[in-house]
Structure 1
C-alpha cells in the first residue's frame, strides 16, 4: 500500500540524495516562501519573495517534467495517467504566473492570480507527495532513487526559472528548448528583469 512521502524519514525516502528527499525539501521551501509572502506587507519585500517562489517553482517543475515524470511513466503501471494530472496542474500554474508577470504591481487582479497560483502549487505538492511519488518509491530500488536524484538535481540547477506556457510539458520538446530558455531566464534574473519570454522573443 503506497503512502505519502510527507511524513517519512529521510532514511525511508532513500537518503538525502534520493529524488524523493530532494523533492520534499523543495516542496517544503516552496511552502515556507508562500507563507512568508502572505505575512509580508511591504510591496518591495513581497515582490522579492514572489521572485524567489517563481524561480524555485519553475526550475523544480522543469526537472520533474524532463527527468522524473518519464521515469514514472516507465516504472509505474498507471504512470501516464498520474503524470498527466500533474502536468495539467503545471500548465495552469504556468499560465497564471505568466499573467502575473505581465501585470503591474498595483493591478487589482494581480493578487487574486497570486492566490490562485499558490493554491494550485499546494495542490500540486499534495498530488505529488500523496499519489505519484509513493508509487515511484514502490517501483524503484534505493539505488535507482539516488541515481535519479543526481540527474534531477543537475537538470534542476540549469533549468528555466520563469513560465513559458507554450513550451511542451514532455521531452523531447521541453528538453530541446530548456537550454536557450534557461540562459534567457537566468540573464533576466541577473539583470533584474521579470517576466516570461513571449512567443516572438523565443
Structure 2
C-alpha cells in the first residue's frame, strides 16, 4: 500500500500490485480464494483511486496544459471502475458472472494503467519539479492510509468534498473490514 518514492514511483508500484491481483484471480480456481483476492484487489483499487482524486488530479489540473480535460477523463475512468467493483462485490465468485465482471474490470483497469504510465506520468514528470513529485508521493501515501476500502460510487471525487468525507468513510470501511475479516490474506 505504501511503497515510498515520488508520486510516479508510488502509483506505479500500486499498478504492479493490481496487475498481480489480476494474475492471481486469473489462475485461482477456489471460489473462496477468488473472493479474498477480489476483496484485496478492491481495497487496493479504491485506496489508489481516492488518493489520486485527492492529490494527483488536482496537481494535473495545476501543472499540465489541458490538465482539466486529463483529470476529468481519469476521474470518469475511476467512476466506471468503481461501478464494476460495486457489482463484483455482490457476485458469487463461483459463477460465470463473476468471471465476466473480473474480465471486464481487468480490461478497463489495465487500459487506465497503460495510459497513466505511458502518457500522464511522463508528462507530469516533465512538467513538475522533483520536490513537488516527492511531496505528492508523501500525500498519496497518507491519503491511502485513511481512504475507504470499499467502492462508494456516489461519493464525491473532487476536492474539497472528497478530502472531507473520504477519511470518515474510510474509518467506517476499515471497521467493517476488521469485524468481517475482509481483506486479510490467508
Match in the other structure for 2:168: 180
Between 1:167-176 and 1:34-43, the stretch displaced more is 167-176
Runs of 4+ in 1 over 6 A off after TM superposition: none
CA contact (8 A) 1:72 1:83 kept: yes
Residue 24 of structure 2 aligns to a residue whose secondary structure is helix
CA contact (8 A) 2:28 2:34 kept: yes
Name the structure where helix makes up a greater proportion of residues.
2
Question: Normalising by the residue count of structure 2, what TM-score does the alignment of the two structures yield?
Answer: 0.91
CA separation in 2, counterparts of 1:102 and 1:40?
19
Match in the other structure for 2:129: 141
1:49-89 deviation per Cα after TM superposition (whole angstroms, max 9, x unaligned): 11110000100110000011101100111111111111111
Matched, 1:34 2:22: yes
1:18-72 deviation per Cα after TM superposition (whole angstroms, max 9, x unaligned): 1110111110111011101101111111111111100001001100000111011
Structure 2 residue runs without a partner (length 5+): none
Matched, 1:103 2:97: no
CA contact (8 A) 2:31 2:94 kept: no
CA contact (8 A) 1:67 1:152 kept: yes
Deviation at 1:171, TM superposition (A): 1.0
Deviation at 1:155, TM superposition (A): 0.6
Structure 1 residue runs without a partner (length 5+): 1-15, 195-202
Match in the other structure for 1:9: none
CA contact (8 A) 1:161 1:185 kept: yes
Match in the other structure for 1:68: 56
CA contact (8 A) 1:83 1:132 kept: no
Between 1:140-149 and 1:65-74, the stretch displaced more is 140-149
1:85-124 deviation per Cα after TM superposition (whole angstroms, max 9, x unaligned): 1111100011111112123334442221121111111111
155, 159, 164: which is aligned to 2:147?
159
C-alpha spacing 1:58/1:133, structure 2 compared with 1 (3 Å): same
Residue 109 of structure 1 aligns to a residue whose secondary structure is helix
97, 102, 110: which is aligned to 1:114?
102
Aligned residues: 179
CA RMSD, Structure 1 to Structure 2 (Å): 1.4
CA separation in 2, counterparts of 1:102 and 1:184?
19
Question: Normalising by the residue count of structure 1, what TM-score does the alignment of the two structures yield?
Answer: 0.84
13, 17, 25: which is aligned to 2:5?
17
CA contact (8 A) 2:148 2:171 kept: yes
